[in-house]
Chains A and B, each alone.
Chain A
Amino acid sequence: MSKSEILGNIRRGLKRGEASTEQKASVAQRLSRHTRNLVPQRAQLPHEEQIKLFIEMAKEAAAEVFELESIDDVPAICNQWLTSHGLTHIVTGSDSELLSLDWSKAENIATEQRVAQVGDQASLTLSFAGIAETGTLMLHSRGESPTTLNFLPDTHFVVLNRSDIVGPYEDAWQKLRESTNGEMPRTVNMITGPSRSADIEQKLQMGAHGPKDLIILLINR
């Protein structure tokens, strides 16, 4: 009832009845073409410069960035960071790359794989892409990577391959469509720095409801 009234009003406003087959076809075509609008020059760079820009922009958004030779270095850096902050526990995604990490040298750190819970100190997930334009991470939900890991723990470690850094957001959408066969995952998270709020007197404070620290582990791959 409401639907037909709303659509009826819109059509009356547009001075036409239901859209013609041609109109619908032209919209359908537009939807399937994924034509890009203007992409800022800033994001159109050779790959090495994209990486530089990504790091610069992520840091500007108050993320910490560590450049690592290999994903095998992840436990050591997490250990170092967590220990120096007096923390002892990390929940990780269950992607095979994360499951195969060797935490035996990180003696003081307990790891486990599950969804996040209230009170969790830290989490570790993989990210799907890095977007140089604004230093943004793109993550998406999968069985191995529960979304709560990105939002509930106080500290979020994110592994990102240098090869997964793209220039503009548009390249990340293309990469996403290719990797999921055009199926949208339940949720896609674009994350630029740790959580914050300026709701009290317009003074910016870091760490509102999401992670207080966002640590990007950039892997040379």
Chain B
Amino acid sequence: MQINSPAFKENARIALHDVNLQKALGNLKAGFPTKRAAAVARMPEFEQLRDEGTALKNHILENLDIYLEQFEENVVKNGGHVHWCRTSKDACKTILDICKEVDAKTVTKGKSMVSEEINLNDYLEKNGVEPIETDLGEYILQLRGDHPSHIIAPAIHLNLEDVSDIFHEKHHRPKSSDPAVLMQEAREMLRQKFASADVGITGANFFVAETGSTIIVTNEGNGDLTQTLPKTHIVVTSIEKVVPTLEDMTLFLRLLARSATGQEFTVYNTLSTGPRRAGDQDGPENFHVVLVDNGRSEMVGSEFQEMLRCIRCSACMNHCPVYGAVGGHSYGWVYPGPMGSVLTPKMIGIENAGLLPNASTFCGKCESVCPVRIPLPKLMRHWREDEFSRHLSPKAVRWGLGGWAFFAKRPALYRILSSSSNLFLRLAAGKKGRIKKLPLASGWTNWRDMPAPSGKTFMQQYKSGKKD
């Protein structure tokens, strides 16, 4: 996916005026948060599960190298292969090489954010292998030449008419306003593709050191057909998704479904362990796991280590007022919302993504719903500080803060300035107490009036209080 994060402000401005997008985002706000709240209410132990999940992730990260090596050992024991890839390019090339080995023409794909992260589809296409997305949302996006705007509901930015239009154009069937009809159409279109693909690529929500298994969690069953029917199954996943045992995986599955969609459990939770066994009548003959690092190993021991606890549930973005207002595409890269505002600068550079951590309202909702208690606002603040100390913030911010610092260090001057600006604002507001236009603050006053300060400054009040 192309990086478009530097244009966050511009993207957001456009998004706020996009009537269709705003309608689609309404569906998000009406859905996920309510469902999550209901599912959490049905599980009295939920807070305890969150504590355990957080502690377990911390334990995993403290022993990450050991668990990864254990996992590899067990995959190999079961007849599979593990490929360690430091960069996106390594990962794409590794996957292409496996495809070439089996002379693959087409590849079916289950939904995988890591594959978006490494821009796999473009790479495969350029090299003569056709990738076919099979998750309904991803399939719609692929037909449109579009990208996901959400990590579990990739096509949330689209409305029914958008889907109907693109299906009509590509499937040459009549338009329909019934989602059930459209879904059936996609089902029919993809059936044969599942069966004739040479390679199936899926992501993994977790992988298990104890058994050398990977697991995918889906509601559609597309991931299962993707990994069962072709001769070769490639799992592309990132290093922090390792868990010690099946019991540990279970803890995260309990947290994941409820936090993500508010389901008690996702419809299909499927473990894959190596290639087809002697006696099996179906299943892939080759099993490859491509482990992607892409900057994660450098997060271990850094101030961003806690971000590696993320289980990609999307609760943070589902509850984020900024995401809810501007949608996922505004963030300009693969990971949107609060988790993306922490992760994206790490992956594409703060110089490209500095606007994201700055877009937070710091309301704290993301942290309050995160199943593994990632302190997202704190991590975003780290980025702000980092950006400032590296002189990357915009001039206006630097001058503004620099100016403020100048006065803040000179209390007498500060007091004169604050009381005179207090007076100035009150005069500017007139009797109504509201300012229609304020130089340097047009971003605010273009949309709403600015309330004038209603009384004396804090220091004036403090002093008069003292006298009494």
Instruction: Report B203 CB to chain A, min CB distance, Å.
Output: 16
Contact A196 B267 (CB under 8 A): yes
Contact B220 A210 (CB under 8 A): yes
A186 within 8 Å of B by Cβ?
yes
Residues of A with C-beta under 8 A to B277: 141, 185-186
Instruction: Report B376 CB to chain A, min CB distance, Å.
Output: 20
Contact B221 A188 (CB under 8 A): no
Partner of B220, one of A152, A196, A202: A196
Contact B254 A201 (CB under 8 A): no
Q: From known contacts A146-B281, A187-B271, infer whether A19 and B225 are also in contact, taking CB-CB under 8 Å.
A: no
Contact A141 B264 (CB under 8 A): no
Residues of B with C-beta under 8 A to A11: 65
A189 within 8 Å of B by Cβ?
yes
Residues of A with C-beta under 8 A to B228: 147-148, 151, 187
Instruction: Indicate with 1 or 0, residue by residue over A196-212, a CB within 8 angstroms of chain B CB atoms.
Output: 11111111010111110
A110 within 8 Å of B by Cβ?
no
Q: From known contacts A152-B225, A209-B222, infer whether A13 and B301 are also in contact, taking CB-CB under 8 Å.
A: yes
Contact A118 B85 (CB under 8 A): no
Instruction: Report A77 CB to chain B, min CB distance, Å.
Output: 23
A 101-141 contacts with B by CB, 8 A = 114-115, 117-119, 133-136, 141
Q: From known contacts A10-B65, A187-B283, infer whether A209 and B250 are also in contact, taking CB-CB under 8 Å.
A: no
A70 to B195, CA, bound (A): 36
A5 to B63, CA, bound (A): 16
User: When A and B form their complex, what is the total count of cross-chain residue pairs whose Cβ atoms lie within 8 Å?
Assistant: 267
Residues of B with C-beta under 8 A to A12: 301
Instruction: Report A64 CB to chain B, min CB distance, Å.
Output: 15
A57 to B43, CA, bound (A): 14
Contact A199 B301 (CB under 8 A): no
Contact B68 A7 (CB under 8 A): yes
A84 within 8 Å of B by Cβ?
no
Flag the segment in B185-193, B342-350, B389-397 that touches A. B185-193
Residues of B with C-beta under 8 A to A2: 84-86, 90, 293
Contact B264 A61 (CB under 8 A): yes
Instruction: Report B266 CB to chain A, min CB distance, Å.
Output: 7
- List the A residue with the shortest CB-CB distance to B87: A2
Residues of B with C-beta under 8 A to A147: 224, 228, 282-283
Residues of A with C-beta under 8 A to B269: 136, 189-190, 192
A85 within 8 Å of B by Cβ?
no
Residues of B with C-beta under 8 A to A40: 43-45, 49, 254
Residues of B with C-beta under 8 A to A203: 179
Partner of B270, one of A14, A36, A190, A201: A190
Residue of A6, A141, A150, A209 with most chain B CB atoms under a 10 A cut-off: A209
A37 within 8 Å of B by Cβ?
yes
Residue of A114, A184, A187, A205 with most chain B CB atoms under a 10 A cut-off: A187
A202 to B30, CA, bound (A): 10
Contact A31 B70 (CB under 8 A): yes
Partner of A202, one of B43, B156, B187: B156
A89 to B433, CA, bound (A): 78
A14 to B68, CA, bound (A): 15
B 264-319 contacts with A by CB, 8 A = 264-277, 279-283, 291, 293, 297-302, 305
Residues of A with C-beta under 8 A to B169: none
Instruction: Report B93 CB to chain A, min CB distance, Å.
Output: 11
- List the A residue with the shortest CB-CB distance to B78: A184
A46 within 8 Å of B by Cβ?
no
B248 within 8 Å of A by Cβ?
yes
B 228-253 contacts with A by CB, 8 A = 228-229, 239, 244-248, 250-251, 253
Q: From known contacts A12-B301, A189-B224, A190-B268, infer whether A6 and B246 are also in contact, taking CB-CB under 8 Å.
A: no
Instruction: Report B134 CB to chain A, min CB distance, Å.
Output: 7
B15 within 8 Å of A by Cβ?
no
A34 to B239, CA, bound (A): 22
B435 within 8 Å of A by Cβ?
no
A38 to B30, CA, bound (A): 31
A15 to B283, CA, bound (A): 42
A122 to B208, CA, bound (A): 33
Residues of B with C-beta under 8 A to A205: 179-180, 183
Contact A31 B281 (CB under 8 A): no
A18 to B63, CA, bound (A): 10
Contact A199 B283 (CB under 8 A): no
- List the B residue with the shortest CB-CB distance to A32: B210
Residues of B with C-beta under 8 A to A60: 264
Residues of A with C-beta under 8 A to B191: 118-119
Contact B187 A208 (CB under 8 A): yes
B 11-32 contacts with A by CB, 8 A = 24, 27-28, 30-31
Residues of A with C-beta under 8 A to B155: 199-200
Residues of A with C-beta under 8 A to B154: 199
- List the A residue with the shortest CB-CB distance to B49: A38
Instruction: Report B230 CB to chain A, min CB distance, Å.
Output: 12
Contact A211 B86 (CB under 8 A): no
Residues of A with C-beta under 8 A to B195: 117-118
Q: From known contacts A192-B265, A208-B187, infer whether A19 and B66 are also in contact, taking CB-CB under 8 Å.
A: yes
Given contacts A143-B280, A150-B224, 19 further A-B contacts (CB under 8 A): A14-B64, A40-B44, A117-B195, A141-B280, A146-B281, A146-B283, A151-B224, A168-B250, A184-B78, A185-B277, A189-B268, A192-B264, A195-B221, A199-B135, A208-B219, A208-B221, A209-B136, A209-B220, A210-B220
Smallest CB-CB A-B distances: 7 pairs: A210-B221, A13-B301, A13-B300, A9-B297, A143-B279, A199-B137, A208-B220
Q: Which residues of B contact A (CB under 8 A)?
A: 24, 27-28, 30-31, 43-45, 48-49, 52, 56, 62-70, 78, 84-86, 90, 134-137, 140, 153-156, 158-160, 163, 179-180, 182-184, 187, 190-192, 194-195, 209-213, 219-222, 224-225, 228-229, 239, 244-248, 250-251, 253-254, 261, 264-277, 279-283, 291, 293, 297-302, 305
**A-B contact list, 13 entries, CB within 8 Å:** A14-B62, A27-B67, A37-B52, A40-B45, A41-B44, A148-B228, A151-B221, A186-B273, A186-B275, A200-B160, A208-B222, A209-B194, A210-B225
